[in-house]
Structure 1
């Protein structure tokens, strides 16, 4: 336990995404660009849903929280990675490592349940359209969201305790770019079988449980869509659900691949690529895949852009006059 006490005092060393010094600046620019796009895209979705009254529906309520979660869990990882790309000593304290794993697990798990809630929303909207306003009440939506956060906190606590209760006396060097369960368990000098089982059980319960719920919901949706006689109606229903399914496939596929394998079968270099997919790439892609290809969102963006251009046009002539430029009043 002396090594474990030393780890607690001095923390861990993160190797980062690459050890090659010539790639550090390139990775910094790439991660920074991804983070900026993630923030702008997801904040844009949240603001757009907030200001457009036509988007104040259960579907977009969950979509705005999905964007918020994407911001939260990418912000748990990327800012630290950006700093580590620019410094030689990539040290993270024990407490910060625990906090990072717990926070990331909480946001990621909540996202699983929010995606499931969105699938249920689509099921009710397509299969029971007349009952939609009654079933998807504001009370139910808030209840589903609160349950998602509660389930995430409980499972993340179990996950984090299971990882950090083992002694880390083999090494302090984490071959990863953030504190994640599999690379941390690889540092233990004790038998980690119980921790592996607990982590796999917690992640498996959340991911497989919500996956089954989503598959059942969309199976019923598919059955209802195939009964639609109108080709346009069938195409619209498919298109509404397709973007959601793409986002689910990316997120769930990489998560299952990462967590539901024994540590002994992990390739830590390959795990970095998989981790980057679900922790960095998916939050960036979600606004485009799940939101901005939606017809209602496009209409809302067009209206918002129109209001902005109108405001600029109204403010433009006085400014032009103050600068001595001609004011063409006949345009108005």
Structure 2
């Protein structure tokens, strides 16, 4: 574990400097446009999912109720990191972040990311009940239960993030203020602390690595039972519908879980090299999620097409001027 002692000649830092991503400094304009495109697609795609699910009364089942939450979380998660990365590509001052701003970014990031992590586990439980116990499903997953489960995931995410933010910024930062990363996250922050970070690293390993891995294991076990139940379905339509829903969810889960587990179970791996997996789940995965759900789910695709078609038909047309 890392140990740093305070130099009496050093002063406590009041701001940090985000060094950003590898290779982006050579072509900042190109990467700015790339990240702007990714961010625009992410916001548009997730906003369309929210509008689609909220506008169609037929999409009122628990599955679609839970679908709106990750769309909102993905849009917010991307907003926490991507605009600051783009600002750093425009000017050197854009890479500067205050101590309070860094703490806020770290809290918001872990709040949103952990909430989404727990939400995917709840969504797997919903699919397990729907496919493995269809007779109990309408009673077990009523509206109150859905709202309660969603609220619990948000509450746990808030507490989870508050613990890590408090532990991280309770440390003394008096040396280098250069963060070898593109946003304020726990591993690169611990490397700058002028204190013993053993407790922080143990808590991070237990509360992020083990919790995330446990959620992933629960999801995998649930899908074992789901696959077994799917194999017992007699109709081809039942097979196709269950397979379509579960495939999209499982794809998103694997894309989301693997990079964080890789990063946070190895606290010393933080740095420029760890940016690639972090970019994947902070930028790429939130952008891909709407396409995965839309392309795999016929109901969402049909509703979205109808919604876009209605928008085109209802757009006002300018009448020709009188002769």
Partners in 2 of 1:267 and 1:185 — Cα distance?
9
| Alpha-carbon contact 2:12-2:172 (below 8 Å) kept | no
Tell me what 1:233 maps to: 238
Q: Against the structure 1 CA distance between its residues 20 and 70, is the aligned structure 2 distance closer, same or farther, given a 3 Å change threshold? A: closer
Partners in 1 of 2:174 and 2:322 — Cα distance?
70
Q: Quote the offset at 1:143 in angstroms.
A: 0.6
Q: Which moved more, 1:15-24 or 1:100-109?
A: 15-24
Q: Which moved more, 1:199-208 or 1:52-61?
A: 199-208
Q: Quote the offset at 1:123 in angstroms.
A: 1.1
Tell me what 2:252 maps to: 247
* Structure whose alpha-carbon radius of gyration is higher: 1
Tell me what 1:145 maps to: 150
Q: Does 1:87 align with 2:86?
A: no
Aligned 1:40-119 pairs, distance under 5 A: 40-89=44-93, 90-119=95-124
Q: Quote the offset at 1:124 in angstroms.
A: 1.4
Tell me what 1:287 maps to: 290
| Higher fraction of helix | 1
Aligned 1:28-47 pairs, distance under 5 A: 28-47=32-51
Q: Deviations over 1:244-302 (max 9, x none)?
A: 11110011001100101141xx1522211111011111111110113343111111012
Partners in 1 of 2:122 and 2:272 — Cα distance?
34
Q: Against the structure 1 CA distance between its residues 251 and 176, is the aligned structure 2 distance closer, same or farther, given a 3 Å change threshold? A: same
Tell me what 1:297 maps to: 300
Q: Deviations over 1:23-57 (max 9, x none)?
A: 11111111111100000000000011111111122
TM-score, normalization by structure 2: 0.92
Q: Which moved more, 1:70-79 or 1:302-311?
A: 302-311
TM-score, normalization by structure 1: 0.89
Partners in 2 of 1:35 and 1:114 — Cα distance?
22
Q: Which moved more, 1:219-228 or 1:182-191?
A: 182-191
1:130 alignment partner, SS class: coil
How large is the Cα RMSD of the aligned pairs? Answer: 1.9
User: Which of the pair has the greater relative contact order for Cα pairs under 8 Å at 6+ separation?
Assistant: 2
Aligned 1:9-28 pairs, distance under 5 A: 10-18=14-22, 21-28=25-32
Give unpaired runs (5+ residues) of structure 2. Answer: 1-5
Give unpaired runs (5+ residues) of structure 1. Answer: 325-332
Tell me what 2:141 maps to: 136
Partners in 2 of 1:43 and 1:262 — Cα distance?
34
Tell me what 2:164 maps to: 159
2:12 alignment partner, SS class: helix
Q: Does 1:185 align with 2:228?
A: no
| Alpha-carbon contact 2:172-2:195 (below 8 Å) kept | yes
